[in-house]
């Protein structure tokens, strides 16, 4: 089955999440800090009265920083009935990926922990890492 994903970049890697998990894409601004939060939690944003936590994807996946993000964005997602924001370097486009092309048995590049990645898909010349949002937003690790 072919699904549509929103793709974005982090450093030189490409990541994506299913379109129906994405609620909105915002500019990266007005993030309020949270005291004593884990390092991958950037803070929260006030989205029309809702307090939405923002997780920095780079920190979460331990991806080294190479250049300054040109168009940093916050991808607002819905996971298990709650809203979370994901701070990424740049949002690219919507791509179609067939389920069959997503492999989840390969060791992930960059040594990213598998609980954050649902699988890896090859599309043309590029590798897309499909994120596991519940894993990313789960607390306690």
Partner 1 sequence: MAVAGMDEEKLRSAFLEEAEDLYGKLGESLLSLEQNGGGRELLNETFRLIHSLKSESALMGFAKLSELAHAMEDVFGLARDGRVPLDRQVMDIMFAGADLIGEMMGAVSRGESDEGVRTEEVVRRLARVPQQGAPEGAPGGSPERVPVRESPQTPADGGLPVLDEFEKRQLEEALDRGEGLYRLAIRVDEGEPMKFPRVFLVFNALEEEANVVKAVPPMDGEPLEDALYGETVLYLTTGGSEAAVTQAACVDQVTVLSIERLDYRAVLEGPPARGGGPDAALAGAPGEAGAGAQPSAEGQQKRAGAEKTSIRVDTRKLDDLWRLIAELVTRKSRVARLSEKMTRGGDVHEASEELAETFDALDKIAGGMQQTMVDTRMIPIAIIFSKFPRLVRDLSRKLGKSIELSIRGEETEIDRGIVEALSDPLTHIIRNSIDHGIESPEERLRRGKPARGRVSIEARQQGGNIVIEIADDGRGIDVARIREKAVAEGIEGAAAMGDAALLELVFRPGFSTREVVTDLSGRGVGMDVVATRVRGELKGDVVLATENGRGTRVTLLLPLTLTIINALLVRGDSQLCAIPLTDVDSTVKVLNTEIRADDGREAWVYRNEEIPLHRLGALFGRGRRRAEEHFAVILRHGDRKGCLIVDELIEEQEIVIKPVDDLLNHRRLFSGVSLLEDGRLVFILDASFIRREDF
Q: Smaller CB distance to partner 1: residue 125 or 139? A: 139
46: contact with partner 1 by CB under 8 A: yes
Q: Smaller CB distance to partner 1: residue 46 or 106? A: 46
39: contact with partner 1 by CB under 8 A: no
Residues 52-81 that bind partner 1 (CB under 8 A): 53, 55, 71, 80-81
Q: Smaller CB distance to partner 1: residue 64 or 141? A: 141
Q: Smaller CB distance to partner 1: residue 38 or 109? A: 38
* Of the candidate residues 29, 68, 93, 125, the single one contacting partner 1 (CB under 8 A): 93
16: contact with partner 1 by CB under 8 A: no
> CA-to-CA distance for 21 and 30, rounded, in angstroms?
23
């Amino acid at each position: 089955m072919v699904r549509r994903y929103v793709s974005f970049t982090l450093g030189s890697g490409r990541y994506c999440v299913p379109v129906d998990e994405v609620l909105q894409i915002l500019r990266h601004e007005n993030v309020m800090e949270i005291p004593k939060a884990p390092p991958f939690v950037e803070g929260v944003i006030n989205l029309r009265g809702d307090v939405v936590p923002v997780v920095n994807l780079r920190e979460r996946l331990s991806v080294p920083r190479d250049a300054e993000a040109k168009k940093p964005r916050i991808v607002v997602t819905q996971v298990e009935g709650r809203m979370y924001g994901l701070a990424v370097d740049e949002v690219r486009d919507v791509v179609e990926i067939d389920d069959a092309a997503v492999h989840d048995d390969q060791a992930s590049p960059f040594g990213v922990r598998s609980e954050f990645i649902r699988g890896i898909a090859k599309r043309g010349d590029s590798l897309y890492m499909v994120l596991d949002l519940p894993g990313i937003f789960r607390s306690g690790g």
